[in-house]
Each structure stands twice: as structure tokens, then as C-alpha cells.
Amino acid sequence: MSNAPPERPESGALQELERDPASRRQFLKLMGGGVAATSAFSIFLAACGGDGNKAATTEPTTTAASGQGSGDIAIVNYALTLEYLEADFYQQVIGSGLFKGAQQSLIQAIGEHENQHVEALSGTVTKLGGTPATKPETKFPIDNPKSILALAATVENLGAAAYLGQAGKIKNKEILAAAISIHSVEARHAAALNFLTGKSPTPDGGFANPASMDEVLAKVKPFIVS
């Protein structure tokens, strides 16, 4: 079996930016410009092209959780569904009363970020002419602080991998910029929670591993009631 990385699709925004320096410069300005934007994009590009990038050739064919539409609309609705789940999770954790002090403050901050992501992604779907995915009913095992933090770390690592897994298929450069921005926040959440639970902040090493839509939806399915 070959160990060579699979080819990425040739028609997405990421591939255009990789090929066209002028388009890339314009995109980096959209991201705020400067060394930080350039570094973030370079790391994101390297991660998307890394060995074993199964998500790069997997099209978003699952519609049950991705809502209406196709292409970028389907991808954004997929991300919106994941953000619904994350926002609900943190709302349930905050309401449990199991955390206090610095940990409670961290959970509240992360929960607010997820609510902001929901609002932004929902608005993006509407702007693209689509219908935002329906918010699912969720149920999470809110048992004890240790297991909750472990689940939070799992959820955030999965969220970061999900955004990375769709990057190569996004056509619209503004949506790609937003995806990179949200991905970086999800990754920071994951690193903080990994550290808090005694794990490595970067469990995959120097480059993050992406996850396909099918992989992610299979892992979150147990938490969706309807």
C-alpha cells in the first residue's frame, strides 16, 4: 500500500490560493495581513496536505446533519450543526453547577465562543441563499467534573479536525477565511482542555489531523436525540 498522500481536489479556494500568488495576497489581507495571517495560512495549508488526509477526497454527502443545500452551503450547515452541539453542551455544563472558579470561567468563555460561531455560521448560510440547518435536540452525559472535562476536550479536538477536514472543498475564499479563523479558536479550546485533563496540548504533533464528515458525524451521533 502506498504511503503517498492522496491528491486534493483542484477546484477549491484553497487550491486557487496555493496556485495563484496574487489571489493569495488578497486573501491574506482579508485575514488581516501580516506575519500572523501568513503563518496561520501556511500551517493550515500544510495540515490539509499532510499524509493520511482522508478528508481531502471525501465529499460532503451526508445530508441528515448538514441541512439543505450543496457545496459551500452544505459545508457551512455541517459546521453549524457541530457548533449547535458544542453550544448546547457548554450550556448544559454551565447549568449543572459542577464547576466553580477558574474552570467555570473557562467553560463560560468557550461556551460564548460557540454561541458566536452559531450566529456567524447561521448568518453565512442565509447570506449564501440557503436555509440554516435545524438545531438538533441534544443530550450529553453530565455526570462529574472529570468526565465532563474529558468530553469537552474530545468535542473540541473533533471540532478542530472537522474544520480542517472540509477546508480543501470550500470554494468561497471568504468562507475559507472564516473557517480558518474558527478552526484556530477550536484548536485553542482543545489545547487548553487537553492541558487541563493532563494530555498533550498538541496530541497529533506538529500538524493537526483532519477528520471527514462521515467520521465526525458518527462520533457525535450518540449525543443527538432528534
> What Å distances lie between residue 31 and 25, 36, 48, 71, 93, CA to CA?
10, 9, 18, 22, 33
What's the confidence (pLDDT) of residue 6? 39
What's the confidence (pLDDT) of residue 207? 86
Neighbouring-strand partners of residue 224? 138
Q: Looking at the predicted structure, is the pLDDT value of residue 158 above 60? A: yes
CATH code assigned at 82: 1.20.1260.10
Q: What angle do CA 17, 117, 60 make, to 5 degrees?
A: 55
Cβ burial of 50 (10 Å; 0-12, 13-18, 19+) is middle
What's the confidence (pLDDT) of residue 36? 45
Q: Could you say which DSSP state residue 149 is in?
A: H
Q: How many domains does the chain have?
A: 1
Least confident of 63-77, 162-176, 188-202: 63-77
- Name the one residue in this structure whose C-alpha cell is 460557540: 114
Average pLDDT rounded to a whole number, residues 178-192:
93
Q: How confident is the model at residue 172 (pLDDT cuts 50, 70, 90)?
A: confident
Cβ burial of 197 (10 Å; 0-12, 13-18, 19+) is middle
Q: Looking at the predicted structure, is the pLDDT value of residue 65 above 70? A: no
Residue 19 has a CB neighbour count (10 Å cut-off) of 10
**Among 214, 160, 169, 164, which residue's Cα sits nearest to residue 46?**
164
Range of the domain at 189: 13-223
Global confidence as pTM: 0.74
CA atoms within a 13 Å half-sphere pointing along the CA-CB vector of 91: 11
Asked if residue 8 is part of any domain, the answer here is no
Average pLDDT rounded to a whole number, residues 99-124:
96
**Among 107, 91, 109, which residue's Cα sits nearest to residue 99?**
107
Asked if residue 161 is part of any domain, the answer here is yes
Average pLDDT rounded to a whole number, residues 19-38:
53
Asked if residue 205 is part of any domain, the answer here is yes
Asked if residue 40 is part of any domain, the answer here is yes
Average pLDDT rounded to a whole number, residues 130-155:
96
Asked if residue 45 is part of any domain, the answer here is yes
What's the confidence (pLDDT) of residue 81? 96
Q: How confident is the model at residue 176 (pLDDT cuts 50, 70, 90)?
A: confident
Q: Looking at the predicted structure, is the pLDDT value of residue 3 above 80? A: no
